Amino acid sequence: MIRPSYLQSGDKVALVSPAGIVAAAQLQHAEEVLRSWGLEPVRGRHALAQFGYFAGTDAERAEDLQGALDSEEIRAIFCTRGGYGCLRIVEKLDYSTFQGNPKWLIGFSDITVLHTKLTSLGIESLHGPMPKSFEKTTGEAMEQLRRFLFGEVTSYRVPPHPLNREGTVRSDLTGGNLSLLHCIRSSVIEYRQKGAILFIEDVGENLYAIDRMMLSFKLTGRLDDLQGLIVGGFSDMCAGNFGKTAEEIIREAVDEYDYPLCFGFPAGHIPGNYPLILGSSIELSIEQEGCEITFF
């Protein structure tokens, strides 16, 4: 995998809206944060556009993202928010210039579509907070985002969880939002490498939908060939009378396998949304004392 160059003070970074609508105040706050990091934010022409549910038409959103991908001056691309929309434009983009001059793409949720596309192209990207969520993200998680972008990549220590399974493995980290991963399964942009470590998170889903997606992955062999599984935040679940938590559903789905399992990792639709380098080679080590993730 190719890792984009780390940022330096004075670098220009793009703010584009490839999916849902972002508020002007949220974008302004994010620009202030980025300037405090020594960066020069550059708004996409249609960053605040609106077209129905989306931040502009498909053509407008694709135009902004294409421009950021191709620009020699832009050193990172912050997707302003998730929602829905990336699937409508991901295959309308030309990645040839970007492949010769890769840069960090940052986001989560619906941005999973773009992360998966870049992973399939052999380019690492950053699963982490977006401008819409900057204000609600903890100071510690925001500082980690800054450190990762500027090359201060550290390992993570996560407290033990009763659903964990011990073991140590090293492989490429893939994944993102479970619903989106399920949506793009068997598509032209799905990352199909066997033996990866999978990270999953989700928000606002019915628990039966979590069960259905996990069983679908299992029945199609998607869970068979993993080296490990990292489970992030599953927040605001719609419980009903299902009788199990999202974490218990996931643990049951992978119970027959023997690879290490890390539950409770602080990433996803939660205030403590810590960054993860998707596509990166990592070591996942899980012991009784907790879980450690080391990036290489």
Catalytic residue among 201, 205, 280, 285: 201
What is the pLDDT at residue 185? 87
What is the pLDDT at residue 192? 73
Q: What superfamily in CATH does domain 12-149 come from?
A: Murein tetrapeptidase LD-carboxypeptidase, N-terminal domain (3.40.50.10740)
What is the pLDDT at residue 147? 98
What is the pLDDT at residue 188? 83
Q: What number is the average pLDDT over the span 111-122?
A: 97
Kindly report the average pLDDT of the chain as a whole number: 97
Classify 153 in phi/psi space as left (phi over 0), alpha (psi -120 to 50) or beta. beta
Q: Known catalytic residue: 17?
A: no
What is the pLDDT at residue 53? 96
Q: What number is the average pLDDT over the span 276-280?
A: 98
How far is residue 6's CA from residue 8's CA, in Å, rounded to a whole number? 7
Show the tokens assigned to 226. 């993993």
What is the pLDDT at residue 190? 84
Q: What number is the average pLDDT over the span 86-95?
A: 98
Is residue 70 scored above 80 in pLDDT?
yes
Catalytic residue among 46, 63, 109, 182: 109
Q: Known catalytic residue: 161?
A: no
Q: What number is the average pLDDT over the span 2-25?
A: 98
Q: Known catalytic residue: 269?
A: yes
pLDDT band with cut points at 50, 70 and 90 for residue 183: very high
Q: What number is the average pLDDT over the span 3-11?
A: 98
Catalytic residue among 127, 161, 182, 269: 269
Domain boundaries defined on the chain: 12-149, 156-295
What is the pLDDT at residue 186? 84
CATH says 156-295 is which class? alpha beta
